[in-house]
Amino acid sequence: MALDQNEFSFQHVSLAVSDVDVSVAFYVKVFGFEEIPNLTRKPWIRWLGFDNGLELHLIQSDTDEINVTRQVHLAWSTANFTEFLQVLEKVYPTNPDWMGSWVRSVRADGAKQVYFQDPDGYWVEVNDAH
């Protein structure tokens, strides 16, 4: 007997990062996420909270063998897409020598989107889908 899909809800995603302090600063600065209590109490693990109890767990570890492509990415949607782009322009350098430039496009459903990379090279999408 299969469980009903409504019995599940998304709670968190974890990322292996090379420097947890740098990654926390990035997600706080770009998205305004708030650091929440890390119940593991391990200093190499930090938790960020956003969107009604969802969490992003950042775990400092060896990231040499992680293969990141744009096909595997985190995505957030915002009704304030234009305002988000203004914030992004202020806090995220577009200098290709840093982490590359942004990738802007329009999805098949008409949603505007922008892709960029975090300090460990993970791709992040922000869109205006509703």
The pLDDT of residue 7 is 82
Share of residues in the chain with pLDDT > 70 (%): 92
Tens digits of per-residue pLDDT, 68-84? 888 889 999 999 999 99
Residues 57 and 18 placed together within one structural domain of the fold: yes
The pLDDT of residue 89 is 83
116: β partners: 124
Contact 103, 116 (CB under 8 A): yes
Residues 72 and 129 placed together within one structural domain of the fold: yes
- Read off the CATH number of the domain in which 129 is found: 3.10.180.10
Residues 53 and 73 placed together within one structural domain of the fold: no
Mark which of 17, 37, 64 sits at the end of a domain: 64
Residues 109 and 94 placed together within one structural domain of the fold: yes
Tens digits of per-residue pLDDT, 37-68? 999 999 999 999 988 889 999 999 998 888 88
Task: Name the pLDDT band for 124 (thresholds 50, 70, 90).
Answer: very high
Report the first-to-last Cα separation within the chain, whole angstroms. Answer: 34
If you write DSSP's letter for every residue of 3-17 in order, what string do you get?
A: PPGGG----EEEEEE
Q: Which domain holds residue 15?
A: 9-64
Contact 48, 23 (CB under 8 A): no
